[in-house]
């Protein structure tokens, strides 16, 4: 399959918003190429300097890249993208090129390194060798073309919240599981049974592969389906790292499947929609228990009113 790569030069402060625009337009993947981020990782010791010996923080402007099926709508897509970014106050330089699926589907692996999340997790790409001498729970991941490598703020915030609300023997449902990283995290924390659901068949395939990599097949069941349509259980915890509109759509069913005293952990909420999401969730009978913030992103923990 052929894809159109659209690259946008943008100041650092606009990276997250432009990435969100790509996602809203249906990008099959988003890549942020920012030398300043690589440089800061090197300076902090998180990444090995020998892998990026020539990187300097002001080497070039940051670039956001999105990937779309190459078809007759491509020219309209570029125009729509340019208009949306223009409304943010930027006049971006936009570059395009045709790529084959295998070219971009694996290029990100060079930047995916082992990293810690929260107090308990250590996430490792499955192609990396690592001696885990710490007491952290190891998540061996290959996200492939599914969302959820653990580095995005929405994913890391969910993982931190899962640490707080999954203590052992819970029934958990992960909606929009992507790579299944959150479902696997819950299983590693001691959840008794985790149902991971995704509408995307590629994500389901990736999720099942990662479940096997982490030896949690006895705990995690991956299903293909739309939101909670395939879930027939009663959950102690429902997890949804998706987007605001889908969270709102999911809320009534999440309220029905949660056990009394259960928790709804949700993220993927951009800052300017947080109040709207909270208000609509409260209308469905939820009480806000906790919130987290990371840059422009928000994560929430809610429970059903008694």
Residue 93, domain CATH: 3.30.70.2170
Reference 128, options 218, 39, 51; nearest CA is 51
Q: What range defines the domain where residue 45 resides?
A: 2-109
In terms of domains, do 76 and 174 share one? no
Q: What confidence tier does 49 reach under pLDDT thresholds 50, 70, 90?
A: very low
**pLDDT band at residue 146, thresholds of 50, 70 and 90?**
very low
Residues 118 and 267 in one domain: yes
Cα gap 143→183, rounded to integer Å: 13
Shared domain check, 210 and 63? no
**Cβ–Cβ < 8 Å for 304, 260:** yes
Domain identity same for 142 and 79? no
Q: Binning pLDDT at 50, 70 and 90, where does residue 33 land?
A: confident
Total Cβ atoms within 10 A of residue 89: 7
CATH number of the domain bearing residue 203: 3.40.50.150
Look at residue 56 in the predicted model and tell me its pLDDT. 47
230 confidence band (pLDDT: 50, 70, 90): confident
Residues 291 and 163 in one domain: yes
Q: Is residue 166 domain-shared with residue 201, that is, in the same domain?
A: yes
Is the pLDDT at 34 greater than 80? The verdict is: no
180: three-class secondary structure by DSSP: coil
Domain boundary among 94, 109, 124: 109
Dump pLDDT digits (tens) for 64-114.
898 888 887 788 888 899 999 988 888 888 999 887 766 555 665 665 677
pLDDT of residue 131: 72
DSSP 223-246: EESSTTTT--S-EEEEEEES-HHH
Return the beta strands (E) in the chain as ranges.
2-9, 30-33, 63-69, 93-100, 115-117, 121-125, 137-141, 171-175, 193-198, 220-224, 235-241, 258-270, 286-294, 297-304
Helix (H, G, I), strand (E, B) or coil at 116: strand
pLDDT in tens, 247-264: 999 999 999 999 999 999
Is 147 in the same domain as 194? yes
> Is residue 118 domain-shared with residue 34, that is, in the same domain?
no
What separation in angstroms does the CA of 50 have from each of 41, 42, 54?
A: 12, 9, 9
- Return the minimum-mean-pLDDT range out of 98-102, 218-222, 299-303: 98-102
Report the DSSP beta bridge partners of residue 292.
299
Which pLDDT belongs to residue 201? 86
**3-state secondary structure (DSSP) of residue 152:** coil
Tell me if residue 159 falls in helix, strand or coil. Answer: helix
Euclidean distance between CA atoms 264 and 252, whole angstroms? 11
Q: In what order do the strands lie in the sheet with 115-117?
A: 115-117, 121-125, 137-141
pLDDT at 60: 63
Domain boundary among the residues 109, 131, 150 is at: 109
Residue 210: its H or E element: helix 201-213
Query: Is 116 in the same domain as 96?
Result: no
Q: Rounded to the nearest 5°, which phi and psi values hold at 261?
A: 85, 5
Please give the sequence-ordered ranges of beta strands (E in DSSP) within 26-62, or none if there are none: 30-33
Model pLDDT for residues 21-32, shown as the tens digit of each residue: 988 888 877 888
Shared-domain flag, residues 82 and 98: yes
Shared-domain flag, residues 251 and 267: yes
Does residue 124 carry a pLDDT above 90?
A: no
- Look at residues 73, 92, 109 and tell me which one is the last residue of a structural domain: 109
Asked which of 54-63, 76-85, 175-184 is least confident by mean pLDDT, the reply is 54-63
User: Which residues contact residue 90 at a Cβ distance below 8 angstroms, ignoring those fewer than 6 apart?
Assistant: 10, 11, 14, 18
Confidence of residue 214 (pLDDT cuts 50, 70, 90): very high
What's the pLDDT at 50?
Answer: 37
Same domain, 46 and 178: no
Q: How many domains would you assign to the chain?
A: 2
């Amino acid at each position: 399959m052929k894809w159109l790569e659209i690259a946008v030069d943008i100041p650092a402060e606009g990276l997250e918003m432009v990435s969100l625009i790509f996602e809203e337009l249906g990008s099959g993947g988003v890549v942020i190429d920012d030398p300043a981020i690589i440089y800061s990782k090197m300076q902090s010791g998180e990444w090995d300097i020998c892998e990026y010996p020539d990187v300097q923080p002001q080497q070039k402007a940051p670039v956001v890249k999105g990937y779309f099926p190459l078809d007759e709508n491509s020219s309209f897509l570029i125009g729509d993208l340019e208009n949306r970014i223009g409304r943010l106050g930027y006049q971006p330089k936009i570059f395009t090129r045709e790529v084959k699926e295998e070219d971009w589907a694996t290029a990100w692996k060079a930047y995916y390194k082992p990293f810690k999340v929260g107090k308990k997790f250590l996430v490792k790409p499955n192609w990396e060798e690592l001696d885990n001498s710490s007491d952290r729970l190891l998540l061996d991941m290959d996200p492939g073309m599914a969302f959820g490598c653990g580095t995005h703020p929405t994913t890391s915030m969910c993982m931190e919240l899962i640490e707080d609300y999954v203590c052992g023997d819970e029934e958990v449902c992960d909606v929009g599981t992507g790579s299944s990283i959150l479902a696997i995290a819950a299983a590693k924390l001691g959840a008794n049974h985790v149902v991971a659901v995704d509408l995307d068949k590629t994500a389901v395939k990736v999720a099942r592969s990662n479940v096997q990599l982490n030896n949690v097949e006895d705990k995690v069941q991956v299903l293909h389906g739309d939101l909670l349509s395939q879930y027939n259980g009663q959950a102690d915890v429902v997890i949804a790292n998706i987007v605001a509109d889908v969270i709102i759509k999911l809320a009534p069913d999440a309220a029905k499947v949660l056990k009394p005293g259960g928790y709804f952990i949700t993220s993927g909420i951009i800052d300017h929609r947080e109040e709207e999401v909270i208000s609509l969730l409260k209308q469905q009978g939820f009480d806000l228990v906790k919130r987290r913030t990371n840059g422009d992103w928000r994560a929430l923990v809610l429970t059903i009113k008694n």
